[in-house]
Structures are given as structure tokens and as C-alpha cells.
A and B are shown apart, each in its own frame.
Chain A
Amino acid sequence: GQQLNQSPQSMFIQEGEDVSMNCTSSSIFNTWLWYKQDPGEGPVLLIALYKAGELTSNGRLTAQFGITRKDSFLNISASIPSDVGIYFCAGFSSGSARQLTFGSGTQLTVLP
């Protein structure tokens, strides 16, 4: 099925650095969701975006719904060790509002 293009696939950063990851699609999305998954756990919803151009923050996390409705990014500021995990973008497209489409994930490693 359809999948979102998520990049980068993995990141190794120093503690305290900022992080940016993004997702793109060839089709229009009505909703963008960002999840974090720790090993052996289910994904946890971080931020939900519902309007083109919307910029939403959750603590050190900020995500934006692209104006074209075909992309979204997630920024993490001042990273800490507990930010380690896999981050997934996901969304509901205009053509499939009932089924969530996932990105391939970004594996984040924070070095002390």
C-alpha cells in the first residue's frame, strides 16, 4: 500500500543538539500525526496536525503541516537521552480518510 517518504532513516546526534525530520507524499493529506515508538512498545502520539500551515508544539517538539498538504516536519530541540527511539510520521490522505498511512520511521540515537 501507499507509504510516506520519511527521512532521514537514522540519525546520530549529540545530547543538546536540535533534530529535524520530515515526511513527504505524492498525494494530499488531511491529517498528519507524529508518533514515537520505544523498543518493545506501541507508538505514542506526540503531535496531531489538522490544517495546512498549522504549527504545533508539545514541549521541545514542534511539528508543522505543510502548506501544500503533501509534507510535514518534526523538530526536537535540545535533545536529551530519553529522546532515543523511532519516530514515525503518519497521516490520513484525502483519498483514504479511514486508513492511516505510515512513514518508514526515523531511528534517533542521542549520544551523551
Chain B
Amino acid sequence: GAVVSQHPSWVICKSGTSVKIECRSLDFQATTMFWYRQFPKQSLMLMATSNEGSKATYEQGVEKDKFLINHASLTLSTLTVTSAHPEDSSFYICSARPWTGGSQNTQYFGPGTRLTVL
């Protein structure tokens, strides 16, 4: 099956620092990748849609200057949490959608990154 990796799997940082999270599709190309945030015992909340070669599309209420997204290739998207604060502590999950010519849409998720900001 399609595999999506994330790195790091967990990170602890000091308040005010920036953290970069990588999302890679290992065995398929993904023109579109997605970044989600998940709070305990809740469903996934879409933060932004990352399109290869163009600017990301952010959901309402998500600060684009705080959560920088770069989709530099068909297999890699990065999320940088800039000037992180304790309230940014969360579980961040990426997903990737294989290009299927428009039919049989699906999405595969990475294993997630646990961010803790002290």
C-alpha cells in the first residue's frame, strides 16, 4: 500500500523557536498534500492544503505566517511552526493524495508528529 512518512515523530522545543516537520510520500507521487492538527479525543482538523509548485491554501483561522508550508517536490511537503508557543503543542498529521487521474480519490496519512512546546 501507499506509505507516507513524517519526521520527526516527536519534538520538544522551547517557546519562541521554530520547528520544521517533513512529510514524504515514499512510493507514490502526490500533487496534493494536507496538514492536519489533532487535539486529544477529537477528530482531525484540516489546517492547510499543500499543492506542489504553488502556494498552500489555508483554512479559516489558521495563520499562514505562523504555519509555513512548502511543497517543493511531488514527494515532499514541509510544515514549519514559527515562533512556537505552548498553545501550539499538538499532534500534527500530514496526508497525501496519489494522482489517479481524477478517479478513485483517497488519502494516505503519515504517522503524525507530536509537538511539545515548553
Contacts and interface: CB of A to CB of B under 8 A. Distances in A.
Are the chains A and B members of one assembly?
yes
A88 B109 CA distance: 13
A102 B41 CA distance: 14
Contacts, number: 57
A98 B4 CA distance: 19
19 contacts: A31-B104, A33-B107, A40-B91, A40-B114, A42-B110, A43-B44, A45-B108, A48-B104, A48-B106, A97-B105, A99-B49, A100-B34, A100-B107, A102-B43, A102-B44, A104-B42, A105-B42, A105-B43, A107-B41
Interface of B: 1, 4, 6, 32, 34, 41-44, 46, 49, 59, 91, 93, 95, 103-112, 114
Nearest to A3: B43
Contact of B109 (A1, A43, A105): A43
Contacts of A99: 46, 49
A1 B45 CA distance: 9
Most buried by A among B59, B109, B110: B109
Nearest to A43: B109
A44 interface: yes
Contact of B105 (A31, A35, A40): A31
